[in-house]
Amino acid sequence: MKRHFCNRVIGLAAGTVVFGAISACGGAGGGLDVADGGIRGTGSSVGPVSGFGSVFVNGVEFSTDDIPNREVESNDGITAEGLLSEGMILRVEGEWFDDGKGTAEKLSYDDTLRGPVDLVTADPSGAGEFVTLSVMGQSVLVDRQTVVRGTTYATLLGEPSITDHVRVSAWRQADGSYRAGYIEVINPDLTSIELEGTLSAVDISQNQFTIGTITVEYDENSVSFGSDLTEANLINGAVLEVEGTLSGSVVTAATIDRDDARRFSRSSADDIEFTAIIDASYAPSGAGTLPGEFTMGGLTVRVTDATELDDTITLDELTEGLLIQVEGQFVSDTVVEAEEIELRDGDAKIRGVVSLTTDSAFFIGGVEVRVGPTTTFTVEDGSDITLQMLPVGNTAVEVEGIEKELGADIFIDALRVEVDSEEADFGDRDKFELEGQLRGISAIPGTITLFGVQINDTSADYDNVLRGEIVDAFFGGDAPIILEVEYRKTASGYTADEIKLEESDDD
């Protein structure tokens, strides 16, 4: 699912969070340049890893020096920091500061799913925006923000009959499907299966239940229940996690635990920052000074008059399926009062060869791409790369990010940067693909403007819309118009070959 937002500055009482300049460092490419290093929070931070040189989670560079051997608490083979990868959803317990630094006391990781792929289904629109995998009957969405290891996104698009085993780190969505932050093809091992999902056909007398297409059997005398669970918790509709051995469509459970929502549980300290998908949309409360609530990660997030929203989202856009980051405090074991909310879903993208890099940004097709501590850098073949290592002038780079406006500057705040494994053909080095908000258009065929870049559209093919309709909508409406543009660099500037109107919300 893709969602688009017009850029605006939003403040609830106190105003917005305004981020300073970003400077590059470490594997994540940057850190927030702020005034001081006072303590901002003590508790848990849960989100996808975006870089190393320490561990970057939720925009904070957590030092792991105080953790013996940089150990990771996990029963999935991810036992040390060096085995983590960008995109894995990690829980960090420790403290974080106003200067974008933090100190980790404990790292915890758990796979969401681990086992064989049944089926691969590509984006039915043909746009290649996502791939859906069935992993032991569980639906997993892999999109352009997902970090893919052991294979490539392009391979997944072209492999409808893949039968590999995969490791998946994902967020559960409201409909019971999953959206992957990380997926890796691994060596098959039917004795080390991890399955998560909704229980049905529970029959305690027969020591079995069903998760999707898989029957789970257990020996009540030997199975290990985690997180204070007992056999009494095995009820229809419960969402649990099972690890064990797979034979055909039957898993023999060695352990049964609560699902991955436990990664968001309250720690001994009350502060939390976490990235997750909204389960139930924001609803105003109409009571006192409390604007409203929504749910994500199994927690109720309470929005107050003091809650600060970043400049790319409004309260009515806090809808089911959106990936966001919340920082706040627990007021009970299941309720978090939000201090800050920011978008972590992309609404802009560009692909092409990099023309220039700076300490905190790079340029593709005239568009500025800024990087920060939440930016993930990967190479298509799975190798590592940093901003300083980005190839200039010869290799295609694909960016997924958030369109932002700061003063006169309009740019992409990068969430994911992926570099192709091979150099681009010479004839493709001046070709670009861009998706973003239309910022200007001439009344007659001449130019369109996106991200401050003027593109000649005199000879462009308008694929699914008439140019006149876009002109009327641009000058007569206030809703943002999102375009997909294929264009090229010429001696006289940039020229569009194909322009397509992107739907405001498509699956």
Rg (CA), the chain: 23
- How many whole angstroms from its chain centre is CA 207? 37
| Average pLDDT in the chain | 89
Q: What is the pLDDT of residue 228?
A: 87
Q: Which of 396, 404, 503 is nearest to 451 (CA)?
A: 404
Are the CB atoms for 256 and 265 separated by under 8 Å?
no
CA 195 – CA 137 distance, rounded (Å): 9
| Strand ranges for 367-475 from DSSP E | 367-370, 376-379, 396-406, 409-419, 431-441, 447-450, 453-456, 461-462
**Overall residue count recorded for the chain in this entry:** 507
CA 153 – CA 155 distance, rounded (Å): 5
CA 382 – CA 148 distance, rounded (Å): 7
Are the CB atoms for 94 and 60 separated by under 8 Å?
no
Per-residue exposure over 91-109, b if at least 16 CB sit within 10 Å of its own CB, e if not: bbbbbbbebbbbbbebbbb
Q: Give the residue-averaged pLDDT of 299-310.
A: 94
pLDDT tens track for 117-172? 998 888 887 777 889 999 999 999 999 899 999 888 888 877 655 678 999 999 99
Dihedral sign computed on CA atoms, order 344, 348, 350, 356: negative
pLDDT tens track for 376-431? 999 988 888 999 999 999 999 999 999 999 999 999 999 999 999 899 999 899 99
Q: What is the pLDDT of residue 37?
A: 55
- How many whole angstroms from its chain centre is CA 278? 12
How many helices and strands (H and E) does the chain possess?
Answer: 2, 40
CA 474 – CA 333 distance, rounded (Å): 47
Global confidence as pTM: 0.89
DSSP secondary structure letter of residue 177: -
Q: What is the pLDDT of residue 18?
A: 29
